[in-house]
Amino acid sequence: MGAERDRVAGFGRLEDGLRQASDWYLWGPYVSERQWGTVREDYSPDGEAWDYLPHDQARSRAYRWGEDGLAGFCDIEQRLCLALALWNGRDPILKERAFGLTGGQGNHGEDVKEYWWYLDAVPSHAWNVWRYHYPQGPFPYQELIEASAARDRRQPEYELLDAGAFDGGRYWIVEVAYAKAGPDDLLMAVSVANAGPDEQTLHVLPTSWFCWLSVGWAMNICSAARVKLPASASATKYRRCRSSIPCGAPAVASTAMA
């Protein structure tokens, strides 16, 4: 951390603002984990912010004040976002964002029903590592909603483990690492490991998109990688994006599977 500490010291102070601190802060993990079910996107006539935009509507509506995603990365104005989408071949929807309950659905209020970790990072966001565990069987969306609704405040929350989503070790270990070669030269590496006993197929979709703007919005979805792995095997997909301006579309400089 000595070299990183010296480099950050030369950037300036974060309290002076990301723009003033250094160009190294122009891109970072600034994408929200959850934009649905928040006061930021509340246009309800009765002020029920937590129920106005539940997870089930997030994939069908454009956000106005931010974006969300798995392992999200973007410029400081959140004009161009990069994140990960997954599909196990069994769910009715892509896993594009964390699933959870609104305040009215959870017996302890709003609650995200996922398992993810931030493993490593440096202040300049030149290095970030994120991990997520994705069930290989159907994700129990409706079961989590119904079981939580049947419990009161005195009972514990109903979690993915209670639903048996990881029984038999049948899940994917997905890691995303971001590394910068320069302030606007970003590498995204997606590593996938099959923790289960059987061969399974996982669809991996690194995705970039433009946020909603008053002049309209556009999307650019990177090509999907379909990975079939035997038990206990792993694979890594690299995606390199380079952009000279925050709102420019990234170009794929190299793509490899190992």
At 133, phi and psi to the nearest 5? -110, 120
- pLDDT given at position 90: 96
- At 63, the pLDDT band (50, 70, 90 cuts) reads confident
- pLDDT given at position 106: 83
Average pLDDT for 69-86:
92
| Cα–Cα distance, 79 to 72 (Å, whole number) | 13
Q: Say if residue 221's pLDDT is above 60.
A: no
Q: What percent of the chain stands above pLDDT 90?
A: 48
How much is the pTM? 0.78
Average pLDDT for 85-91:
96
Average pLDDT for 3-22:
67
Q: Say if residue 9's pLDDT is above 70.
A: no
Give the pair of three-digit tokens for residue 179. 């590394």
- pLDDT given at position 206: 95
Residues 6+ apart with CB under 8 A from 198: 170, 231
Give the pair of three-digit tokens for residue 235. 């694979």
- Which amino acid makes up residue 199? E
CB atoms within 10 A of CB 129: 17
Q: Say if residue 33's pLDDT is above 90.
A: no
Average pLDDT for 77-81:
88
Phi-psi region of 229 (alpha: psi -120 to 50; beta: other; left: phi over 0): beta
Least confident range of 13-17, 128-132, 159-163: 13-17
Q: pLDDT, tens digit, for every residue of 229-248?
A: 566 666 655 544 443 333 33
- pLDDT given at position 56: 81
Give the pair of three-digit tokens for residue 19. 């723009």
Using alpha carbons, select from 229, 224, 214 the residue that is nearest to residue 255. Answer: 224
Average pLDDT for 212-238:
51
Give the pair of three-digit tokens for residue 64. 């106005």
Q: Say if residue 85's pLDDT is above 70.
A: yes
| Cα–Cα distance, 95 to 182 (Å, whole number) | 30
Within 53-168, where are the H helices? 55-58, 141-149
Least confident range of 129-138, 168-177, 245-254: 245-254
Q: Are 27 and 125 in contact (CB under 8 A)?
A: yes
Using alpha carbons, select from 27, 33, 129 the residue that is nearest to residue 78. Answer: 27
Q: pLDDT, tens digit, for every residue of 108-146?
A: 888 899 999 999 999 889 999 999 999 999 999 999 999
- pLDDT given at position 246: 33
Give the pair of three-digit tokens for residue 126. 């030149």
